[in-house]
Structure 1
C-alpha cells in the first residue's frame, strides 16, 4: 500500500495549468474560428473576437486552473496531515 501524504503545491499547480491551457486550446479553437467567420459576415465590429479568444481564454483558463489547483493541494495537504492521506494499492507489472 502506498500513501499520498503530500502534494507539491507549486509543481502540481504548474502541471495542471499547462494541461488546462492545452486542453482549452483544443476546445476553443474550432469555436473561435467559427465565431470569427460568422461575426465577419453578420457583426463585422466583433470580427476580431475569435482571434482574441484564441489567446485570452486559454491563458485565463490556465491561470484559474493554477490558482484552484494550488488551493486544492493546500487543502489536501492540511487534511492529509490529520488523516494520513489517500492510500493506493499498486503492483508491478509482469511481462
Structure 2
C-alpha cells in the first residue's frame, strides 16, 4: 500500500485550474458560436454582448477551479495529518 501524505497545493491547483478552463472552453465556445448564429446570447451587463460572455466563462471556470482545488488541498493536508491520508494500492507494470 502507498499513502498520499500531502498534496502540493500550488501544483495541484494549477493543473486543476487548467483542466476546468479546458472543459469549459470545449463547451462554452461552440455554444457561444451556435447561440450567436441564431440571434441568442444577449447578456446585459457584459460588454460586447454574449460573445464576450462565452469567451469570459472558461477563464472564470479556470480561476474558480484553481481556488477550489487549492482549498481542497489545504483541507486534505490538514485532515491527512490526523488520519494518515488516503491509502492506494499501486502496481508496477513491465513495458514489454
TM score, norm. by length of structure 2: 0.85
Give the superposed CA RMSD: 1.9
Q: How many residues align?
A: 91
CA distance in 2, matches of 1:91, 1:18: 28
- d(CA) in 2 for partners of 1:73, 1:56: 26
- The whole-number CA distance in structure 1 between the counterparts of 2:49 and 2:38 is 11
Structure 1 residue 91: Cα displacement: 1.1
Q: CA deviation at 1:25?
A: 0.6
Tell me the equivalent position of 2:58: 58
Aligned to 2:15: 15
What are the superposed Cα offsets for residues 43-89 of structure 1, whole Å, 9 maximum, x if unpaired? 8xx39534213321000000100111100000000000000000000
Please tell me whether the aligned partners of residues 33 and 50 of structure 1 are also in contact (alpha carbons under 8 angstroms).
Answer: no
Bigger helix share:
1
> What TM-score do you get using the length of structure 1 for normalisation?
0.85
Structure 2: which 5+ runs fail to align?
none
| Shift >4 Å, 4+ stretches | none
Q: How does 1:1-95 map to 2 (within 5 A)?
A: 1-39=1-39, 46=42, 48-94=48-94, 95=96
